A and B are shown apart, each in its own frame.
Chain A
C-alpha cells in the first residue's frame, strides 16, 4: 500500500497509509472502533473507493475477483441459518472463480477438501452450518477463504466472542498459515492474543501510528495516541504486563 487515502461519506478515514505485507508474516492490526481497520481491509480488497494512492498485490493493482486475496469477514456477516453444509459453505468461496453458469469440478472439490483439512473440519463437513459453535464457524470462514488458495489472508476480528482455548487454536492455525507462505493480516481488539500470536503489530487510528515487532512497542505514548486513552488506563497496564 502506497500513500493510501480513503474517504467514507465525505469524511477522511484513512490518511497516508504505507504498509507492506510479506509472505510468512502474521500482522495484527490494532486500533479503537472507528480507526479504519475494516475500511483498510476493504480498501485492500478494492471494495471501497480510494481517494489517493494505490494498493498493489503481487505488483498489480487490487480489484475484486482476483484470487490472490482470501477474505474472512466478521462472523455476523454470514447467514448462519442458511440450510447448507460445511463443505458447501466452503465451496461457495470459489463461486467467483468458477465463473457464471459453471458447475463445481474436481479441482474445486479438491480445494475444498484441502481447506477443510487445513482447519481440521473434515469430520464435520456434512454438518449444517447452523449447528456449529462460534469457533467452528470461524474456521468455516477461514476454510472458505483458503479454498481460493490465496497468497494473502485478511481476517476481520477473528477472535471476537470466542473463549481462550478456541482463540489459542485459531492463533496456532494463523501462525501455521503464515508459516506456509501466506501473508496474514488480521484486525483484532484482543491485545493478549495479538501480542501472543502476531509477528508484527500495526497500530492504526486514521493513520499508522506504529509498526513493529510486539516487543518494540513498549512506549506508552504509542498506545495512548492510538486508542485516545489516559495515562492511567488499564490498557497500559495490560501492555506492560505482556
Chain B
C-alpha cells in the first residue's frame, strides 16, 4: 500500500479507529521514550518488565467488571511498583529477586482472574499482543492527559532523578528523599507502560520503554540529546510500524517493535562514536599512525602528572 493510500485511510470516516490508534501509539511511544532513558541508564529494565506484567491483574479485574482498562492497569501497576520499592529496602534479598517474585505473582493473579470471565481467550490475546480496534474515545484523552502529567513530572524532577542515578549515597547526604524519588520514578514507568498497553500489548510494551532509549544512548554522550532522540525514535517507529502493519496486515505491536529493534541495530552498527563500524574504522585509521589506544589503555594518567590538564 502506498503512503497516499494510507493517508486516505487515515481520513476515511469509516476507519475512524485508525487515526485514534495512530495518535495513541505515537503519544505512548513518546512518553515511553523519555521515561525509558532513566530506565536504561539506571539499568532497571527488569523493573519495566515487572511493571508491564503487573498491570495484567488490574486489566483482568477491569475487564471482568467492565471498567476502564487503563485505570485498572494503572492501579495494579502502581501497587506492584510500591511493593517492589518497599520490599527491596530489605537488603537480604536482592532487588531483582523481589521483582521476579512480584512479576510472576501478579501475572499469575491476572490469569486466574481473567479465566473467570466467559469468552476470555480472544480478549486475552488482545491484552497480550495489542490491537488497534475498539479504542474508546475516552482512552484518547486519558492517554493524552496522563502523558502530559508524566512529561511534566519528568521535567520538574529531572535533576533529582539524575543525582540519584549518579550517586545514591551522595544524594542521601544532600538530603534528597531518595526513597520517594524511587517511588515516583517507578510510578512514572508504570503509567508510561499502562498508556502504551492498548496498541502494543502486554508482552511487547517493554520494547517501547527500552529499545528507543538504548538506541539513543548509542548515538550520543549527552543526556539532553538522548532524551530528545529516544522519543523521536519511538514516535517514528510507531508511525512506520502502524503503516506497515496496516499495509501488510501484520500485528501492530509486533511490527512497531520490529521497527524499533531495526533502529537499535542500525545505531549499534552505525553510531558515530560508539558504533561497531566507527570503531572498526578508527582502529584501521589508527594502525597507520601507531595504533590509537583503546579506552582501557588511554594514556590520560600521563596528563595527570602535569598540573595543567591538556
- The residues of A with any CB-CB pair to B shorter than 8 Å are 45, 47, 63-66, 69, 71, 73, 77-79, 82-85, 88-89, 92-93, 95-98, 100-101, 103-104, 120-121, 123-124, 128, 130-136, 144, 163, 165-166, 169
C-alpha gap A101/B161 in the complex (Å): 11
Q: Please determine whether B159 and A92 come into contact, CB atoms closer than 8 angstroms.
A: yes
Q: Please determine whether A64 and B157 come into contact, CB atoms closer than 8 angstroms.
A: no
**What would 12 A/B residue contacts be, using CB atoms closer than 8 Å?**
A47-B169, A64-B172, A78-B167, A79-B166, A82-B41, A83-B41, A83-B221, A83-B226, A95-B176, A120-B308, A120-B309, A135-B301
**What residues of chain B lie closer than 8 Å to A100, measured between beta carbons?**
156-157, 160
Q: Please determine whether A84 and B295 come into contact, CB atoms closer than 8 angstroms.
A: no
Q: Which of B170, B221, B298, B301 touches A77 (beta carbons < 8 Å)?
A: B170
C-alpha gap A124/B300 in the complex (Å): 12
Q: Please determine whether B221 and A120 come into contact, CB atoms closer than 8 angstroms.
A: no
A95 in contact with B160 given A47-B173, A133-B298 (CB within 8 Å): yes
Interface string of B154-166 (1 = CB under 8 A from A): 0011011011011
Q: Please determine whether A135 and B307 come into contact, CB atoms closer than 8 angstroms.
A: no
Q: Which 8 A-B pairs have the closest CB atoms?
A: A65-B175, A96-B174, A133-B300, A165-B305, A95-B163, A64-B175, A128-B221, A135-B304
Q: Please determine whether B167 and A79 come into contact, CB atoms closer than 8 angstroms.
A: yes
Q: Please determine whether A71 and B220 come into contact, CB atoms closer than 8 angstroms.
A: no
Q: Does B223 interact with chain A (Cβ within 8 Å)? A: yes
Nearest Cβ distance between residue B110 and chain A, in whole angstroms?
A: 34
A64 in contact with B304 given A82-B223, A123-B310, A136-B309 (CB within 8 Å): no
**What residues of chain B lie closer than 8 Å to A120, measured between beta carbons?**
307-309
Measured CB to CB, the nearest residue on chain A to B226 is: A83
Q: Please determine whether B156 and A77 come into contact, CB atoms closer than 8 angstroms.
A: no
